[in-house]
Chain A
Amino acid sequence: MFKVLWRRKIGLGGFIVLISICLVAIFAPFVAPCDPYQLNPSIRLQPPNRAHLFGTDMFGRDILSRVLYGARLSLITGFSVALLSGTLGVGVGVVSAYFKQTGMILMRINDALMAFPEIILALALLAIAGHASLANVIIALGVTYAPRMARTAYGLALRIREFGYIEAAQAVGSGSFRIIFYHLLPNLISPVIVQTTFTCALAVLGAASLDFLGVGVSPEVPSWGAMVNEGRIYITIAPWVIVFPGFFVALLVLALNLLGDALRDALDPRLRRLV
């Protein structure tokens, strides 16, 4: 009991951090001390000081302001990818579980997609898309994380499908559409929410990694991953350029993971003892 409470308290901490980052992202124009795009070569690579709390980068841009604006991109990517992969994954998973013939083929394709390590599949999809943009990054990561969600939804839906109330619904003549939407999906929602939170954390990490590798959004856009990539060659003389953006990626992902853990404990007590 103590552990659950402790975990939930920690989960609450994660939630507070997440909300704070969301607020900072929404009100970035008001809280950021400088324009994140403004170049000022005369003050390049300044260590943290009163005027620039996180220091300045190689173009003299204020790192704090860029970190605050960077939160927007990370959150948009994280939430959009979670939504896209959740919709795709649950759709495929539930349809596969309900219509067994189609399901066999769909889950085989799903298994084959899961044989590609996630970031490699995302990189390949981005290479095929031709040009890097926020939309392409979201689609690439969304498609990449969907098979994992489909697997979870499939396993759960397969179990629920055998329950008496599904049989009862079939017996009174409910259509497949009605059964899926009114009887299957509502019973899947808790584990799906938990998994979506973890996918959101993975997506933030994945998008930051793609930006770091130089295949994500364009470098002038304030993005945490791209900031670390740009600043890495100055690691010996100006480590602050990479320390702060990377720290915020870790903080956001940690907050999402803590929240996911707490949600799992609260929504699915059966899993509590397992993980």
Chain B
Amino acid sequence: MAAYITRRLAAILPTLFLVLIIVFFLIRLIPGDPAAVMLGPDASPEDIERLRHLMGLDQPLMVQFGRYLLRVFRGDFGMSIAFHMPVTKLILQRLETSFLLALCSAVVVFCLGVPPGILAAVKRNTWIDQFLLMFALLGASIPSFWLGLMLMLAFAVKIPLFPTSGFSSVFQTGNLANFRYLVLPSLTLGFVNSALVARLTRSSMLEVLQEDYVRVARSKGVRESRVILKHALRNAAIPIVTVFSFTFAGLMSSAVVTESVFALPGVGRLVVESVLRRDYPTIQGLMIMIAFLYLIINLITDITYAFIDPRIRYD
């Protein structure tokens, strides 16, 4: 197993290095002088020169790249221009909200994706199957910002069950009631991201249910619920796990919008704020961190495969 993990880890390192190169050169694509763009039209030439020096822009490109790599490995993404604090600290401050939101949304994705997917496969070609397929398609089509606002309208404005927006830390206050701030955002994120999981659960279950070992289990007189949950689901789990890792990217993407709708102080909202304020060091730090997280999730997915299906380890 250790050899397998090492192999997978070695496979993501080149991608991670490329991510760093892309982010470095992307920021240098800014037309004109990045320092001048960041400081705006009213900045004096001295200020621009000082920022150029501070950012190392007056150095040769390769020196800049070398310094950038060194700083990234130390976890230093520079100072945020808009928030006047180290980017790393800024991102860490916002992580709690995003982490809890992703966790709650993943629970919703699981509940809305996996059981309905299994049900649709078992009840193939019935009205239940068609209804669930349509429901999944609807999930993939509704814009998350609109669904969020509609849920807010229904369950925060018309029937005031949940707060409309904002968030108060759960870890700092120790107040579990603060999870109520995350109910509507998680439902929004969960619903729009569950469509793919539901469809893939259905299709992989359909495939597995036609296998010989399922037929054997049935012919032995094993209870149908046991056939589905024990014999079929475990074998259908690999595509479901894969799609969960894709869903993470989906969660990050839609979290950008959802956190803005519900004014949640998370990483997604920080992305929008830093883009609107042209805070390039923060954008750079966020892109690296999010891509890094994505690659780690992929790695965890690969390791999960090996646990579910031991054959993978020996491939």
Contact = CB atoms under 8 A, between A and B. Distances in A.
B22 A112 contact: yes
A249 interface: yes
Sorting the interface of chain B by its residue count into under 10, 10 to 19, 20 to 34 or 35 or more gives: 35 or more
A114 to B, nearest CB: 8
B272 A117 contact: no
B54 interface: no
B80 interface: no
Given A235-B157, A249-B146, A120 B286 contact: yes
Given A225-B145, A254-B141, A115 B291 contact: yes
Interface residues of A, number: 52
A213 B272 contact: yes
B91 interface: no
A67 to B, nearest CB: 13
B313 interface: no
B209 to A, nearest CB: 12
B275 A123 contact: yes
A219 interface: no
Given A109-B22, A116-B291, A120-B271, A128 B138 contact: no
Interface in A117-140: 117-121, 123-128, 130
B257 interface: yes
Given A123-B256, A228-B146, A249-B143, A257 B137 contact: yes
Contacts of B308: none
B169 interface: no
Interface stretch (B27-35, B180-188, B217-225): B27-35
B22 A113 contact: yes
Interface string A189-201: 0000000000001
A239 B156 CA distance: 13
A246 interface: yes
B175 interface: no
Given A128-B29, A209-B144, A249-B146, A120 B256 contact: yes
B15 A108 contact: yes
B92 to A, nearest CB: 18
Contacts of A64: none
A214 interface: yes
B221 to A, nearest CB: 28
Contacts of B256: 117, 119-120, 123, 209, 213
Contacts of A253: 140-143
Contacts of B253: 117-120
A10 B275 CA distance: 40
Task: State the main secondary structure of chain A at its contact with B.
Answer: helix
A78 B108 CA distance: 29
A246 B137 contact: no
Contacts of B137: 254, 257-258, 261
A112 B283 contact: no
Given A120-B256, A257-B141, A215 B19 contact: no
A52 interface: no
Contacts of B134: 10
B145 A209 contact: yes
Nearest to A105: B18
Nearest to A213: B272
A37 to B, nearest CB: 23
B203 interface: yes
Interface in B10-52: 14-15, 18-19, 21-22, 26-27, 29-31, 37
A11 to B, nearest CB: 11
Interface in B196-252: 199-200, 203, 206-207, 249-250, 252
Interface stretch (B1-9, B70-78, B147-155): B147-155
B22 A232 contact: no
Given A242-B146, A246-B145, A246-B150, A123 B290 contact: no
A130 B18 CA distance: 24
A34 to B, nearest CB: 23
A115 B134 CA distance: 30
A116 to B, nearest CB: 5
Nearest to B152: A235
B172 interface: no
Interface string A149-172: 000000000000000000000000
A270 interface: no
B146 A112 contact: no
A120 B290 contact: yes
Interface of B: 14-15, 18-19, 21-22, 26-27, 29-31, 37, 125, 129-130, 134, 137-138, 140-146, 149-150, 152-153, 157, 199-200, 203, 206-207, 249-250, 252-254, 256-257, 260-261, 271-272, 274-276, 278, 280, 283, 286-287, 290-291, 294-295
Given A109-B22, A111-B15, 7 more contacts: A3-B130, A111-B18, A113-B22, A127-B280, A205-B141, A250-B143, A254-B138
- Nearest first, the 3 A-B pairs at minimum CB distance are A246-B146, A112-B18, A254-B141
